[in-house]
Amino acid sequence: METQFRRGILEICALAVLEKGESYGYKLVTDISELIPITESTLYPILKRLEASDMLVVSSQEYNGRLRKYYRITEPGRQHLT
């Protein structure tokens, strides 16, 4: 039960941060870590689940010669957040 509760809290934290604007994985970890301790290995599966649930959309952009994934909240994500 505690694991599911923590997962739910982390999903809400990710959506809340993304409601302010799109962001990429490492920045999300940094921003969410201000609220609750989290690692990249914990966050990325949550982002994948949110994307599969149509609460996020993902786009790739080149940054310093590498592709970086940017995450953006969708309307279903906003509804879930409220």
For residue 12, the domain's CATH number is 1.10.10.10
Predicted local distance difference test score (pLDDT) of residue 35: 83
Beta bridge partners of 72: 57
Our separate counts of H helices and E strands in the chain read 4, 3
pLDDT digits (tens, 9 = 90+) for 19-51: 999 999 999 999 999 888 999 999 999 999 999
pLDDT of 64 over the 60 cut: yes
Once rounded to an integer, what is the mean pLDDT over residues 51-71?
Answer: 95
Q: What is the pLDDT of residue 72?
A: 98
Contact 69, 24 (CB under 8 A): yes
Contact between 81 and 12 under an 8 Å Cβ cutoff? The reply is yes
Q: Which helix (H) or strand (E) holds 63?
A: strand 56-63
Q: How many domains does the chain have?
A: 1
Task: Tell whether the model's pLDDT for residue 1 goes beyond 60.
Answer: no
The rounded mean pLDDT for the chain is 92
Provide the domain limits for residue 72: 2-81
